[in-house]
Amino acid sequence: MRQATLGCGVTRQLVDDMTRMYSRRTSDARFADAIIGCSGNKERAAINLVKAKRYAKELGCPVYMWQYHVDGAEPGESAGKEYIERLALLNPAQVGIFVPGAPTVLTENIAVQLAACNSTRGRFAAMVFDDEDISAFVTRIIRDADAEPGEIVLLPLPPSALLVHLDQLTAKQRGKLTADLVTEYGPCETCVTVPLMRSQSVIIGKTRLRRHGVELAFACTIHKLQSLTMDKLVISLKRPTWTKTGGARAKWESVYVALTRVRLGCNLHIVPMSEADKDALVGLVPRAATMAIAHVYDDDGKFVASKVQEAYTKAQKVAAAAKKAHEHSLAKQRKRVTTLAM
């Protein structure tokens, strides 16, 4: 899948062939649990919420949700379920979702030396409340809700911590996790404690949000897929995925990352696209810097360190030439406007 010609842009024929090959697997059971890659956080949040409800229904338990607050603020009156669901779609960073056993990804560095760092994958294990009175209060809320499997149970405040099973740990790392990270909440050989913390990336106004550094991972952004190799992957290349305010188009590099996370084409499924979706992809070309970086590899795909400086210099020259051409184009436009005004 990664044997691509960088010099070639996205042609209509390529899009047609790609969608014809990889859109046939909609009903393939092998992709039922595959991660869904998309470019926007709103699309990711919508998929995660739908999949969380479906997963909880199959598991026979409710979906637990709560609202996060800015650091230092006292939780106000609890909002209703409809409001929290809308907030989860519009601003997913402000809402926490928990389903035991659901796939997760860490969004903060919890313990780098133990491989519990940003982008580490795992599964939810348990919610933890430090205060016994609060724990008893939340337990009563869950019991009184009497929710059906897959329904939402709204918690009045976030858990003190979430326990997360990490997918890949060595025996030595398991020992360190037990000794260093979960002694406060009881031993667990494959769990890491993710406490409430000041987020390093999510800011509301000028104040950091106080939240858990872990999210559901039924779906994730294509940005998060960089450097990963997946067994199975579903990719959404629909036009809403690639558009932003002002009508910005997709980047060739993003499409390339999305399509090259699996070793074999049979392990990739692309969500069917309309003709308008396909048109949005046609004509994409790699940036000059991407083309230059491609030259640090030989014909067999091996990295050649001696070519790095040459590629970097070439990228700088290409970028400078592109900037000069853009400035020249703007100058011609200003001159034309001035002439018309006279």
The string of pLDDT tens digits covering residues 202-259 is 555 556 778 899 999 999 988 888 878 888 888 888 765 444 443 445 678 888 888 8
Give me the torsion for CA of 164, 165, 167, 169, rounded to 10°: 110
Q: Which residues are CB-neighbours of 84 under 8 A, at least 6 positions away?
A: 65, 66, 67, 95, 152, 154
Q: Are 191 and 175 in contact (CB under 8 A)?
A: no
Q: Is residue 145 part of a domain?
A: yes
Percent of the chain with pLDDT over 90: 18
Q: Is residue 249 part of a domain?
A: no
Amino acid at 107: T
Amino acid at 214: V
Q: Are 162 and 128 in contact (CB under 8 A)?
A: yes
Question: In the chain, which residues have pLDDT < 70?
Answer: 1-9, 21-28, 70-79, 113-114, 168-190, 199-207, 239-250, 288-289, 292, 294, 301, 319, 322, 326, 337-342
Q: Is residue 98 part of a domain?
A: yes
> Kind of pairing, strands 233-235 and 35-38?
parallel
Statement to judge: residues 94 and 191 lie in one domain: yes
Asked which of 200, 222, 244 is the last residue of a domain, the reply is: 222
Domain that holds residue 319: 286-342
Rounded Cα gap, residues 130 and 318, in angstroms:
57
Q: Is residue 241 part of a domain?
A: no
Tokens in use for 104?
């997760």
Rounded Cα gap, residues 302 and 298, in angstroms:
5
Q: Which of 100, 102, 95 is nearest to 41 (CA)?
A: 95
The pLDDT of residue 1 is 46
> Kind of pairing, strands 152-154 and 63-67?
parallel
Q: Are 127 and 90 in contact (CB under 8 A)?
A: no
Rounded Cα gap, residues 245 and 338, in angstroms:
30
Statement to judge: residues 215 and 306 lie in one domain: no
Statement to judge: residues 205 and 291 lie in one domain: no
Rounded Cα gap, residues 141 and 201, in angstroms:
32
Q: Is residue 123 part of a domain?
A: yes
Give me the torsion for CA of 257, 261, 264, 266, rounded to 10°: -90
Tally of structural domains, the chain? 2
